[in-house]
Chain A
């Protein structure tokens, strides 16, 4: 086969602007650096809208929940798992470990937390639902996980969770697990000791 005729004049390299290319490439670099950070929100959006995992711990839209009707033809088991991070000296349990409900019914369950230390501590509950595919069907209208919880030394608190399981939940899902893990909110706990100056050994945990 024959060579194509060179596009540029012979003995002269095809001279574009190398700096121009470098600038474009640096633009790509900057964009992908930002993309790395953008993946944080993108990940959440993708989880919720593509993979159907709900990551946000926010309250469900009340109007939407009100539209759900109870589906008495189905019963699903909901299990409650209560965990405490080992850095937080609290006791925490679900009053009922397992209930059976109909999808669409507004259900209330209670959790008990006790601060076993001798200082006031702020804790945050991190929710998680298994199987993860079921999480968008799990609508909480009220939950102690929406806000941080402050327990005085030795204080116990009974905390409700109200939720509706969407009747659209795939029929194959028959058991749901709702898990809460309480973590110490160290920053808020520190501020607690600064403002009203209660006694206590916060540093211990």
Chain B
């Protein structure tokens, strides 16, 4: 483990050059976390791109204000040094100035609130969804139930938890190098599951989210939102994925010992492929039905 540490240490020391490079490449789309990633993903849905855009808008507004305020401050620090013979003025107030810097921020804030409000209203609009998936958080795994697909009940219901290779590697002193755990060349340590949530591309999917034991939060950055799953309460939100692909995320609300070890993987397939997958999952619609009992043996301890 030490040798891994030292090789990374060398890379860390070369960080400034890399940061410049990745700043230049910051237009690249990160569907999943990349080394040296500096910014939020643009994601795989219209909503996630809009969230990214409003994030960038806020960032640049803050940078602009920062440049002005800190600029004035640095000018003051260099121009009005006692060592350069500066003599202190005695004025200590100006109604005009104070009015200006109360009003300008108000205008800027209104400018920010407007796009934020319209986007929020769109994100909250779950109407006209064509598919419903129920997500239940457990300590420390997720259950996915396909409740509805274009008015049909697919009767698909499975549990998704950390895949075994990561699970072995993450044990204290396992000796497994996390960087060796890869799928298609992408390091998937702690970001891979045994059974991903499979979703169709181009379909408005409504998610209803709850939890069994404690509060969890379902978060895939590429979808542009996270939503808490709370025992006894059902929350709803939606996504319409544009691009087929694998999108990874994690539980985002502290939920106990293995909070860091309950990843989320969404596999987005073209609609036709998705329907094939669905058919393969649920051969007999009558079987099992939607009963959601967990056998007591799989119930979490505590």
Contact = CB atoms under 8 A, between A and B. Distances in A.
Asked if A and B form a direct contact in the complex, defined as CB atoms under 8 angstroms apart, the reply is yes
Given A97-B147, A131-B124, A177-B234, A204 B296 contact: yes
Interface in A154-197: 172-175, 177, 179, 181, 183
Contacts of A97: 147-148, 153, 290
Contacts of A128: 210, 232-234
A130 B129 CA distance: 14
Max chain B C-beta neighbours (<10 A), residue from A83, A84, A179: A83
A86 B300 CA distance: 8
B97 to A, nearest CB: 20
B296 A205 contact: yes
Contacts of A130: 208, 234-236
11 contacts: A81-B134, A86-B296, A86-B300, A87-B296, A89-B293, A93-B289, A131-B126, A174-B128, A177-B132, A179-B210, A181-B232
Interface in A92-123: 92-94, 97-98, 116
B293 A90 contact: yes
Contact of B234 (A98, A129, A173, A175): A129
Contact of A93 (B132, B138, B234, B290): B290
B75 interface: no
A126 interface: yes
A85 interface: yes
B153 A98 contact: yes
Given A79-B148, A97-B153, A177-B208, A92 B232 contact: no
A45 interface: no
Interface residues of A, number: 33
Nearest to B208: A177
Given A131-B126, A175-B127, A175-B129, A84 B234 contact: no
A98 B125 CA distance: 19
A92 B293 contact: yes
Nearest to B298: A86
A91 interface: yes
Given A81-B147, A177-B208, 5 more contacts: A81-B210, A86-B299, A89-B293, A128-B232, A132-B235
B234 A179 contact: yes
B208 A172 contact: no
B163 interface: no
Interface in B138-187: 138, 147-148, 151, 153
A86 B232 contact: no
Interface residues of B, number: 35
A12 B203 CA distance: 79
Contact of B293 (A79, A81, A91, A175): A91
A81 B127 contact: no
Nearest to B232: A126
B206 interface: yes
A143 interface: no
A151 interface: no
Given A179-B208, A181-B210, A92 B292 contact: yes
Contacts of A81: 134, 147, 208, 210, 234
Contacts of B300: 86
A78 to B, nearest CB: 11
A83 B292 contact: yes
A179 B208 CA distance: 9
A83 B136 CA distance: 9
Contacts of A83: 136, 210, 212, 292
A148 to B, nearest CB: 15
B147 A79 contact: yes
Interface string B102-143: 000000000000000000000011111100101010100000
Nearest to B145: A81
Nearest to B121: A172
Contacts of B234: 81, 128-130, 177, 179
B213 interface: yes
A64 B94 CA distance: 61
A89 B295 CA distance: 7
B296 A89 contact: yes
B291 interface: yes
A131 B293 contact: no
B153 to A, nearest CB: 5
A86 B212 contact: yes
B90 to A, nearest CB: 12
Nearest to A183: B232
A1 to B, nearest CB: 11
Contact of A94 (B129, B208, B290): B290
